[in-house]
């Protein structure tokens, strides 16, 4: 459920309207198009702080870590059970345009359930870009679950100064195995417009700031006791016309930039090969300070913090995380080759 406030324009006399873009449903992700997303280490910690009219965000020195391309799947290719819920002419409330394979929410533990797939189902028409439900495949079952309260992500059309407050909730029950419920609230503000500079070039963008609070209610049969997890995060997104997903997205938790993804629109992004990535799979990840992190074979490696500063290096198949490291996301890179993200707690 959402509350969208009227557009608020600041300094309209000083900022010509033609300099600003408008994001519509046509600019949202399109089925069967592959978007070249890349995870990255952040070098400029002030990107999230810059807001307002005619801003230049310089993210040209992002450090690419791993390829993370996304290809929305046409709703017409959904399973029979999912199509009955999310592609039915008799249920327009939950009619979706595409779905995306994603990961089950990370609740910090292994459920011991062989999940074959987990999908989010998206709507791009109407007055918001939204998630209408999820689909879970496990042990031969394909279970579509609608949001009791649909999750509106951004308002459409979107212009500088627009705000949106939305709530979302759903309940997933696997009898005798798992019960998972989500309640969350988003506060979205289109707080800037201007130029975003990426390694591949410059783009006209709108910037959104999303403050999200959520509670996960979990009951795992084998543990016997229900528990809840409260989450809080701020996400900054830079949206361009005809780009589908944000050109750049940065998520902060506890005020620290934790993850970043951007679209690498160059013909070749230079990110590591799958063979290199397979050799560098650190575990455990996240890892606590003072504990060891390891991978499969001895490599010449380097560890960079979120500003791109080299903090550790060596030749080995692991190392003990120094207790003086600041908690956050680090880039573990094979010298001259691939890199992965390590979360230090």
Per DSSP, the residues of 295-324 read EEEEEEEEEE-TTS-EEEEEEEEEEEPPTT
C-alpha distances in angstroms, 44 versus 237, 250, 296?
A: 15, 11, 32
Q: Which of 147-151, 178-182, 271-275 has the highest mean pLDDT?
A: 147-151
Question: 296 pLDDT exceeds 80?
Answer: no
299 and 195 within one domain? no
Kindly state whether residue 269 falls inside one of the protein's structural domains: no
Cα 162 to Cα 303: distance, rounded to the nearest angstrom: 40
224 and 99 within one domain? yes
173 and 146 within one domain? yes
Kindly state whether residue 268 falls inside one of the protein's structural domains: no
Higher-confidence residue of 4 and 200: namely 200
Last residue of a domain, one of 222, 244, 263: 263
Q: Under 8 Å CB-to-CB from 67, ≥6 apart: which residues?
A: 36, 37, 38, 269, 271
Q: Under 8 Å CB-to-CB from 135, ≥6 apart: which residues?
A: 78, 79, 82, 99, 117, 118, 119, 121, 142, 143, 144, 145
Give the rounded distance of the alpha carbon of 59 from its chain centre.
Answer: 18
162 and 309 within one domain? no
Q: In this structure, are residues 233 and 253 in contact, taking their beta carbons and an 8 Å threshold?
A: yes
Query: Domain containing 197: what range?
Result: 2-263
Phi, psi for 161 (deg, rounded to 5): 95, -10
Does the pTM surpass 0.75? The reply is no
115 and 198 within one domain? yes
Question: 278 pLDDT exceeds 60?
Answer: no
Q: Which of 29-38, 55-64, 188-197 has the highest mean pLDDT?
A: 188-197
200 and 297 within one domain? no
Residue 330 maps to which CATH number? Answer: 2.60.40
Higher-confidence residue of 66 and 164: namely 164
Question: 109 pLDDT exceeds 60?
Answer: no
Cα 16 to Cα 24: distance, rounded to the nearest angstrom: 20
Q: Which of 62-66, 187-191, 228-232, 293-297 has the highest mean pLDDT?
A: 187-191
Tens of pLDDT, residue by residue over 231-264, are 899 999 999 998 999 999 999 876 666 779 999 9
Question: 313 pLDDT exceeds 60?
Answer: yes
Last residue of a domain, one of 207, 239, 263: 263
Question: 73 pLDDT exceeds 80?
Answer: yes
Kindly state whether residue 124 falls inside one of the protein's structural domains: yes
Q: In this structure, are residues 229 and 253 in contact, taking their beta carbons and an 8 Å threshold?
A: no
C-alpha distances in angstroms, 230 versus 132, 133, 183?
A: 22, 21, 10
| Per-residue pLDDT at 107 | 53
Last residue of a domain, one of 263, 287, 306: 263
| Per-residue pLDDT at 195 | 94
Bridge partners, 151 (sequence order):
131
Q: In this structure, are residues 144 and 81 in contact, taking their beta carbons and an 8 Å threshold?
A: yes
């Amino acid at each position: 459920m959402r509350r969208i406030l009227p557009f608020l324009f600041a300094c309209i006399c000083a900022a010509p309207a033609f300099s600003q873009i408008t994001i519509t449903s046509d600019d949202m992700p399109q089925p069967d198009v592959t978007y070249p997303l890349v995870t990255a280490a952040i070098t400029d910690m002030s990107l999230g702080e810059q807001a307002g009219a005619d801003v230049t965000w310089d993210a040209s020195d992002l450090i690419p870590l791993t390829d993370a391309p996304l290809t929305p799947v046409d709703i017409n290719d959904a399973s029979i059970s999912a199509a009955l819920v999310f592609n039915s002419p008799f249920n327009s409330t939950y009619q979706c345009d595409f779905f995306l394979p994603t990961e089950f929410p990370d609740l910090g533990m292994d459920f011991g359930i062989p999940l074959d797939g987990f999908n989010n189902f998206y709507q791009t028409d109407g007055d918001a870009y939204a998630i209408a439900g999820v689909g879970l495949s496990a042990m031969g079952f394909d279970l579509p679950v609608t949001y009791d309260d649909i999750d509106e992500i951004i308002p459409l059309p979107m212009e500088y100064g627009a705000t949106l407050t939305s709530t979302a909730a759903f309940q997933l029950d696997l009898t005798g195995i798992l019960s998972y419920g989500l309640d969350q609230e988003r506060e979205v503000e289109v707080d800037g417009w201007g130029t975003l500079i990426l390694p591949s070039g410059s783009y006209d963008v709108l910037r959104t700031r999303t403050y999200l609070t959520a509670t996960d209610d979990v009951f795992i049969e084998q543990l016997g006791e229900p528990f809840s997890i409260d989450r809080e995060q701020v996400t900054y997104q830079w949206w361009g016309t005809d780009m589908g997903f944000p050109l750049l997205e940065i998520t902060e938790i506890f005020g620290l930039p934790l993850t970043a993804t951007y679209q690498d629109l160059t013909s070749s992004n230079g990110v590591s090969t799958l063979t290199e990535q397979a050799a560098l799979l650190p575990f455990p990840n996240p890892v606590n300070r003072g504990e060891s992190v390891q991978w499969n074979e001895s490599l010449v490696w380097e560890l960079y913090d979120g500003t791109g500063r080299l903090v550790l290096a060596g030749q080995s198949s692991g190392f003990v995380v120094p207790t003086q490291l600041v908690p956050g996301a680090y880039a573990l890179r094979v010298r001259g080759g691939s890199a992965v993200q390590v979360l230090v707690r």
